[in-house]
């Protein structure tokens, strides 16, 4: 039994998980988060971005919200396929700052839940121009915070939401990009 908090990148997923959005929980501004100032010769002068310094400088967190973050032992992030690498690094920075513990995520354990074959993180091309200086991809697993302490991946294999074997086979073919003519015909019948 751990003191846990549930969150998700998009609002509807946060509601469905009976949690809050990541931006709300950590009082993060919207937009691109960079772990440090971009290179001086980069094309970033016309773009808005946040850094650890700017996030902390503009932080307006209530005592109750700080207490939630300080008391938290487990952070559950749902719909992780949509979580951007920079947002995960912003979470790491905020937990270290608020909890005053300079270890990964301020000592909080993280549980990522989601299907990486589903919706990808949303990144505009001008945002990627900035993020590419720091990240291999926009996906959460390329966050700098996970490079030293990578997560353990567990893939669930039993399907609970569907019982029709033919439909399950169709869904697996779709998610693996191996759709056959028979699958398309089956989809046309649904």
The share of the chain scoring above pLDDT 90, in percent, equals 61
Write down the pTM of the prediction. 0.86
| CA-based nearest residue to 85, from 31, 127, 143 | 143
The share of the chain scoring above pLDDT 70, in percent, equals 93
Residue carrying structure tokens 């779709």: 174
Helices marked H in the chain: 11-16, 22-26, 52-57, 63-71, 85-99, 125-131, 165-175, 181-189
For 74-115, how does the pLDDT look when each residue is reduced to its tens digit (9 = 90+)? 999 999 999 999 999 999 999 999 999 999 999 999 999 998
Q: What is the mean pLDDT of residues 31-44?
A: 80
Q: What is the mean pLDDT of residues 132-149?
A: 95
Decide if 87 contacts 120 (C-beta within 8 A).
no
User: Mapping DSSP to helix (H, G, I), strand (E, B) and coil, where does residue 84 land?
Assistant: strand
Q: What is the pLDDT of residue 169?
A: 87
For 20-34, how does the pLDDT look when each residue is reduced to its tens digit (9 = 90+)? 889 999 999 999 999
């Amino acid at each position: 039994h751990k003191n846990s908090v549930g969150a998700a990148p998009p609002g509807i997923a946060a509601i469905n998980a009976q949690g809050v959005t990541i931006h709300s929980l950590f009082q993060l501004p919207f937009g691109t988060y960079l772990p440090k100032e971009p290179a001086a010769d980069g094309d970033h002068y016309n773009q808005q971005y946040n850094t650890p310094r700017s996030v902390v400088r503009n932080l307006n967190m209530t005592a109750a919200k700080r207490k939630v973050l300080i008391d938290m032992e487990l952070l559950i992030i749902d719909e992780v396929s949509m979580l951007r690498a920079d947002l995960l690094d912003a979470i790491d920075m905020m937990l270290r700052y608020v909890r005053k513990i300079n270890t990964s995520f301020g000592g909080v354990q993280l549980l990522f839940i989601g299907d990486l074959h589903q919706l990808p993180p949303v990144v505009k091309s001008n945002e990627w121009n900035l993020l590419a200086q720091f990240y291999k991809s926009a996906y959460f697993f390329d966050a700098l915070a996970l490079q030293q302490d990578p997560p353990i991946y567990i893939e669930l294999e039993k399907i609970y939401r569907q019982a029709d074997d033919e439909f399950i086979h169709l869904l697996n073919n779709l998610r693996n990009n191996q759709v056959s003519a028979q699958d398309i015909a089956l989809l046309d019948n649904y």
